[in-house]
Structure 1
Amino acid sequence: MMARSLVLVFSMFGVSACNAGPEMVSAPVKGFNHTSAEITRFTINGAGGPRIPPNQGGGNEVCCGLLPMQWKPGLRAIIEWDKDPNPYGDVKRDKYGQIDKAALASHSTAYSHHSATVEIPKYAEELCALQVHFLPCDQVRVSTTCYGVGSKNYPDKAYFQVKEPASCSNH
């Protein structure tokens, strides 16, 4: 009986300890690819994002990234992504149109893996989505806006005007 009481008391401490930290909220993850490469996969703080074809994005949201309810200066996100620099390269198919596994394996050897730590801009009390923008020269930015791309208040319109240079100085 005494052992059960002690277990109950310690488990209550454990529950209250879990609630002692900052409250976290979940936000859907959305990606935008502003490059000629394909983003084959990405994560933001471990939350997965969808494949994004060249110069596309915004359509598919996945669930969910976690952020503190209250933004604090210095809040950062770790973005990891894999990139196919030749998304329109021919990959051999069999007579039924199925991709040849050996040809796909050969094609995927050109994929590159990237990682960046970026600042998360200040967000208000309402957090709508984590938007990851993949820019030329393996640059990446994060946004937390509630506005859609078509809104006049969308803060990241400039990313859609970025031109991809012929070569990058960071390569």
Structure 2
Amino acid sequence: MSRVLIRVLWLMLISGLSLQGCTPPKPVRLGAPIEGYSHTSAAINRFSVNRGGGPNISPYSGGGKQNCCASLPVKWHPGLTVVEWEKDPDPYASANWPPLGTDGYRAAYKLHAAKYTRHRAVVPVARYERLGVVNVHFLPCNQVAVTAGLMMPGTPKYPFHFPQKMQEPATCPES
């Protein structure tokens, strides 16, 4: 082979190797949309997963409303996720308040909001094959369950099968 050809091949090899370092690495974590489900008579005023905010949820409802985003690993591995939320234990109390916009209404709201409770749980995320929507299930006794795969609630392979309406027990077990 000629010296010129050898030099060209050598330069191509070195250039190829140096360009390989310019390829961006695959992400380890991604932001995934967040959806919530309340299986109790309480409303979830706000919640977050790893500091990414989820939508508010009416009692005994959820799904269909997503916020962005919770940071989770692209590839599932054992670990914990932090869920924080604010709960309104009496979401229909305003039906008996004075008219909206009045001093009486503002006073009633202030008394009512003082009864909101705030919670924090560190929980595992159910195993997933591919990262998808982060579903947070709010359960009695301030328990939560989290999944983040591509399966939707109600499908056979979904990891949780909670009834939509669950009653709070008279006493909750100590955590």
Q: TM-score, normalised by structure 1?
A: 0.77
- Structure 1 residues without counterparts, runs of 5 or longer: 1-15
The reply to whether residue 65 of structure 1 matches residue 70 of structure 2 is yes
2:117 is the alignment partner of 1:117: no
Aligned position for 1:107:
112
Give the one of 20, 36, 51 matched to 2:56.
51
Matches within 5 A, 1:83-98: 83-90=87-94, 92-94=97-99, 97-98=100-101
Deviation of the 1:80 alpha carbon: 0.5
In structure 1, C-alpha distance between the alignment counterparts of 2:63 and 2:101, rounded to whole Å: 28
Alpha-carbon separation, structure 2, partners of 1:22 and 1:117: 24
Superposed displacement of residue 24, structure 1: 1.6
1:166 aligned partner, one-letter code? A
141, 146, 149: which one aligns with 1:142: 146
Alpha-carbon distance in 1 for matches of 2:51, 2:31 = 13
Larger radius of gyration: 2
Rounded Cα–Cα distance in structure 2 between residues aligned with 1:144 and 1:68:
10
Matches within 5 A, 1:11-26: 23-26=28-31
Q: Normalised by the size of structure 2, how large is the TM-score?
A: 0.75
What SS is found at the alignment partner of 1:158? Answer: coil
Q: Percent identity?
A: 39
Aligned in 2, Cα 1:161/1:111: closer, same or farther, shift over 3 Å?
closer
Unaligned runs of 5+ in 2: 1-20
Q: How many positions carry a matched residue from both structures? A: 150
Query: 1:111 & 1:158 partners in 2: Cα distance?
Result: 24
Deviation, 1:137, is: 0.4
